[in-house]
């Protein structure tokens, strides 16, 4: 026979269960509140065709370093940061890594709550997660960021290729069962239910074969080194070096056979317009419409910054550039010959 328990004992078990559930809810609520304090809203350039001029980010140091997605939103001289408490700051763009599609900004603040990248955790399939972001720009002041509750569907590699997922990042990702690819969500934080940072939300990515969208985050261990290098001064412009450190014979794109598109805007992207035959660029198979992203380890956001970066290199030295061709990142070394003018 089935054993029967007194009603008062059953009632006590129900109360204990409800108390535990309530305590768990309060614990998760506290974790969310603590994480909200580390999130920021980012406002910058709107891009072309009415694209949204906002995205998400999170603080990664008490001194105001912010990790976010590298995108057109940051392609402006003024990027504004709104903290969780509503305070607004102008941010300085420290640098970005186009291979990982991440960027680091800096605001003039101190003693800020932040995620410690050294304490970030790795996740497995089935892990329960929270995705925090300012999707659809629902938070413009001191309103909290949006929180989506879900799980990691699978841990896999993002192998973008032409005609499918076109992205320069090829590496491990967390595929999520929540819709994180909405406008503004890029650069948001992925945390577990203990409040530990695990990843940065990726940009909108659509499969052109079946028109489906990929919801994913890049693990922090994939971006940690680049973030630290950017904070230490790499991937930044050298244009402010004193004159005495300038080479006696500075490099110029035209010496390599590169003709850039007309520089009509303050931040005209460094696209190759023409490649002169018989030059270093021609020998290295550079092509029109290639976008020059890096000179060495220094990000070039415009034709102007590309020229300034090359001015730091002696024309007798080889120049390593990273270009974006379609959605493929390529590293090319250019060496001007004795007859190149």
298-321 pLDDT, tens digit per residue, is: 778 788 888 888 888 888 888 999
Which residue, of 231, 257, 286, is where some domain finishes?
231
What is the average per-residue pLDDT within 328-341? 80
Same-domain check for residues 207 and 165: yes
**Which residues does 132 contact at the CB level (< 8 Å), separation at least 6?**
32, 35, 36, 39, 56, 58, 145, 146, 147, 148, 188, 189, 190, 191
Instruction: Answer whether residue 8 is part of any domain.
Output: no
Instruction: Answer whether residue 313 is part of any domain.
Output: yes
Same-domain check for residues 209 and 60: yes
294-328 as b/e: b if 16+ CB within 10 A? bbbbbbbbbbbbbbbbbebbebeeebebbbbeeee
Instruction: Answer whether residue 191 is part of any domain.
Output: yes
Same-domain check for residues 185 and 101: yes
Same-domain check for residues 204 and 61: yes
Same-domain check for residues 179 and 254: no
255-295 pLDDT, tens digit per residue, is: 999 999 987 766 788 899 999 999 999 999 999 999 998 88
Same-domain check for residues 299 and 260: yes
Nearest to 162 by CA among 202, 210, 209, 99: 209
pTM of this prediction? 0.73
Same-domain check for residues 311 and 182: no
189-215 pLDDT, tens digit per residue, is: 999 999 999 999 998 877 666 667 789
Torsion of CA 247, 320, 268, 43, to 10 degrees: -100
Instruction: Answer whether residue 178 is part of any domain.
Output: yes
Same-domain check for residues 177 and 81: yes
Residue 49 pLDDT class (50, 70, 90 cuts): very low
Instruction: Answer whether residue 14 is part of any domain.
Output: no
CATH number for position 290: 2.30.42.10
Cβ atoms within 10 A of the Cβ of 87, count?
Answer: 13
Establish how many alpha carbons lie within 13 A of residue 172's alpha carbon, considering only the half-sphere containing its beta carbon.
14
333, β-bridge pairs: 320
Which residue, of 181, 204, 231, is where some domain finishes?
231
Provide the CA 131 distance to its chain's centre, in angstroms: 15
Q: Is residue 120 over pLDDT 90? A: yes
Same-domain check for residues 72 and 192: yes
Same-domain check for residues 320 and 181: no
Number of domain units in the chain:
2
Instruction: Answer whether residue 1 is part of any domain.
Output: no
Provide the CA 245 distance to its chain's centre, in angstroms: 32
132-143 pLDDT, tens digit per residue, is: 999 998 888 889
- Pairing type for strands 102-106 and 88-97 reads antiparallel
Tokens of 69: 């997605």
Which residue, of 201, 231, 261, is where some domain finishes?
231
Same-domain check for residues 69 and 162: yes
Instruction: Answer whether residue 4 is part of any domain.
Output: no
Parent domain of 265: 243-334
Mean pLDDT is lowest, of 97-101, 223-227, 242-246, for: 242-246
Residue 163 vs residues 167, 206, 222: alpha-carbon distances, Å:
11, 10, 25
Same-domain check for residues 221 and 263: no
Mean pLDDT, rounded, of the chain: 84
Residues written for the chain = 341
């Amino acid at each position: 026979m089935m054993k029967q328990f007194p009603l008062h004992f059953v009632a006590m078990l129900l109360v204990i269960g409800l108390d535990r559930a309530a305590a768990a809810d309060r614990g998760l609520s506290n974790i969310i509140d603590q994480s909200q304090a580390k999130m920021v809203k980012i406002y910058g350039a709107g891009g072309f065709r009415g694209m949204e001029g906002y995205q998400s980010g999170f603080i990664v140091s008490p001194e105001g370093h912010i990790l976010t997605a590298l995108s057109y939103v940051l392609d402006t001289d003024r990027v504004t940061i709104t903290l969780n408490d509503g305070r607004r700051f102008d941010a300085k763009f420290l640098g970005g890594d186009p291979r990982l599609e991440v960027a680091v900004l800096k605001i003039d603040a101190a003693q800020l709550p932040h995620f410690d990248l050294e304490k970030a955790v790795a996740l497995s399939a089935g892990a329960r997660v929270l995705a925090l972001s300012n999707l659809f720009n629902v938070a413009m002041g001191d309103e909290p960021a949006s929180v989506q509750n879900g799980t990691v569907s699978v841990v896999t590699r993002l192998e973008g290729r032409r005609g499918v997922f076109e992205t320069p990042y090829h590496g491990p990702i967390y595929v999520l069962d929540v819709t994180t690819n909405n406008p503004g969500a890029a650069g948001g934080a992925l945390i577990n239910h203990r409040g530990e940072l695990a990843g940065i939300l990726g940009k909108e990515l659509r499969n052109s074969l079946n028109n489906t969208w990929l919801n994913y985050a890049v693990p922090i261990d994939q971006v940690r080194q680049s973030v630290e290098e950017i904070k230490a001064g790499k991937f930044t412009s050298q244009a402010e070096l004193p004159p005495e450190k300038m080479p006696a014979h500075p490099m110029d794109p035209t010496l390599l056979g590169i003709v850039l598109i007309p520089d009509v805007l303050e931040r005209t992207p460094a696209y190759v317009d023409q490649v002169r035959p018989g030059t270093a660029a021609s020998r290295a198979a550079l092509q029109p419409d290639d976008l020059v992203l890096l000179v060495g380890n220094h990000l070039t956001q415009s034709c102007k910054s590309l020229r300034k970066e090359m001015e730091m290199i002696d024309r007798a030295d080889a120049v390593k550039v990273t270009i974006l061709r379609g959605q493929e990142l390529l590293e090319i070394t250019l060496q001007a010959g004795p007859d190149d003018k």
